A and B are shown apart, each in its own frame.
Chain A
């Protein structure tokens, strides 16, 4: 029995997978895709039930406190029970992928599902997609850990989890696949694409089996003309502005809430009650908002230009209040809602200014606005394009879709160089995509670069004795350490003492202790390699002693670093 369990723990040893691990990844991708698909459906069903249950109470004035209660409970659950941070979880997944080979905690597999269900179900303005991505990614990571897979395989399964989740929740396999590769992994390699594609298919099939093969936002056929495509440029500008506004509003609210000296759950409740108040006046801003998107795409949304613009702006405010003040959920669904209403506003504005022109139905602009927002805020144009194609089931919008997505991404990149998901990671220097300088320097450690072929000398040694040691060494640096305590005292560099080496009168008159540099700059074994390199560059030095606990451990030099750096880069960027 124990033997069987052991065998199960190491699938890499099974003869089926021994020759090539691609087959192993494909099998696990199916499992992860199914599990993350089920998690996505579970959250979806829970949200539907909760929204239906609370729907009857929305008419009462005290309903404005429902989002507050939901956000407070969600915050308490995350903080006190599962001990996890608020937010949507996507940056955590990206961080885990780039820094820890995709290691995620088991509890992350369900924590965000519950917390986001509480936040969104009670009316908070957020989306269920990012929590589902976190959940799927954690499922993939924990399956990989249970079967002792290596980091590369684990990262692929984290991508599989994210792809399966997005594919299941939107019934959109390509979007799941593209999102996982473009946003989560940031690395297009066949080793990842194949299992991720399979997981996306598995997640979609789970969704279709249990929920039916529904297109999320079915619409009528659009008759798009050239002037509509031209108008898309203007729409892309508005989408980019809305994306930047949402990004900045979210961050501003987050900073504002941080400055309030109240417990996190109270802050979440404050944010939630403000959302509740907005929602009491304009119910469209509450929850995930898919109902509003349906109406917008169908082209039958009542209300004028002012109302749709107000909905877009208030949705931005509500989302930033929900997430910035401590609620739990993602920005996927809010982006779709804001995008749809930005599209509607733009269409109504165009129709008002150029009333003689026959414009395409406003539902088309709502779809394009959704792609523009998604592409802009995530700076992931492919995700925006494929998501809208798949959730609307229409291929005829592809040309304006590409125009809006690419222009919106470019403008957003210009205004906000890092996407919403990556902004914090970039600021903390923790975005470590494979093959980048930061990743190579993070992966390499000083221990791996240590040159241990230096000969230590003692401070009471005569120069003549030191010269005998110089003859046997091929290094220019000689660490000096105390004979008794072996504590590091300083360094002798041949360049510094060259004039005395050839003076026989000095050979018996000078001790090494008198020749050494006592104020030499050293690094410790656990220093960050990029800091070490900066020190070397600032001081124009090529090598430094590595000293830990006052003991000399070896030297670190730019030459060895370059050699190892190159190997690391070739291994990280080469195909397996």
Chain B
């Protein structure tokens, strides 16, 4: 396999000018073809190994370190579904009812999730005010879902949740993410939606799933346009 200067420089994570100098100084194995230097993949790999240098072509690198595609809010919400008339006499009971709704998780994982949600609430309430809470575990679950999930639960009646503004919470967005990066990404998008007063009023009307998705999709469009 013959490689170009730019490819080899990229594979060794060097500027082309350094590679050019190494060729002139005879520090890197090449074969000459006309005035050009020709690199062979096998020879370079062997040379890099003997010199303790990392050598990976862009293709190999892409396989190893492909940046994770971050999901949209709507997809996560669709995966988690929307539940209405979820009942809980107090905060813990409401959380238990919400976790029971997440039926795609195995029984033991649901128990783990509940424990972690309660533990998180003990640290500080996830009730962010205006009747909205975003319960989430502090650390990822032992067997997290492959893609992030947001389960929306409209509580009836609203429950006291030690929210920041002391108002009872009427909606939970239970956020379960496989990684911290997903978690922060979705949390930031959700916060953007919640900053809008009309959206909060819309949530107060306990909309159905399709209506909610279309509203959120509208916000995401705005975000993507920024």
Contacts and interface: CB of A to CB of B under 8 A. Distances in A.
B53 A151 contact: no
A443 interface: yes
A446 to B, nearest CB: 10
Given A572-B27, A574-B51, A10 B32 contact: yes
A12 B53 contact: no
A571 B51 contact: yes
A18 interface: yes
A572 B28 CA distance: 10
Contacts of A564: 14, 18
Contacts of A567: 12, 14, 53
A572 B26 CA distance: 10
B22 interface: yes
A143 interface: no
Nearest to B29: A576
A153 B52 CA distance: 23
A550 interface: no
The secondary structure that dominates the A interface is helix
Nearest to A11: B32
Interface in B1-51: 12-15, 17-18, 21-29, 31-33, 47, 50-51
A564 B53 CA distance: 11
Given A12-B32, A574-B50, A450 B15 contact: yes
Given A448-B15, A448-B17, A571 B31 contact: no
A168 B47 CA distance: 37
A447 interface: yes
Residue among B21, B29, B33, B47 with max Cβ neighbours from chain A (10 Å): B21
What is the interface residue range for chain A against chain B?
A: 20 to 34
A445 B24 CA distance: 15
B70 to A, nearest CB: 16
A7 B47 CA distance: 27
A576 B27 contact: yes
A101 interface: yes
A444 to B, nearest CB: 8
Interface string A550-576: 000000000000011001101110111
A354 B198 CA distance: 114
A150 interface: yes
A567 B15 CA distance: 12
A18 B31 contact: yes
B23 to A, nearest CB: 7
A575 B49 CA distance: 11
A486 interface: no
B207 to A, nearest CB: 32
30 contacts: A10-B32, A12-B31, A12-B32, A13-B32, A13-B33, A18-B31, A101-B24, A149-B26, A150-B23, A150-B26, A151-B25, A152-B25, A445-B17, A447-B17, A448-B14, A448-B15, A448-B17, A448-B21, A564-B18, A568-B18, A570-B53, A571-B27, A571-B51, A571-B53, A572-B27, A574-B50, A574-B51, A575-B50, A576-B26, A576-B29
Interface of A: 10, 12-13, 18, 101, 149-153, 443-445, 447-450, 563-564, 567-568, 570-572, 574-576
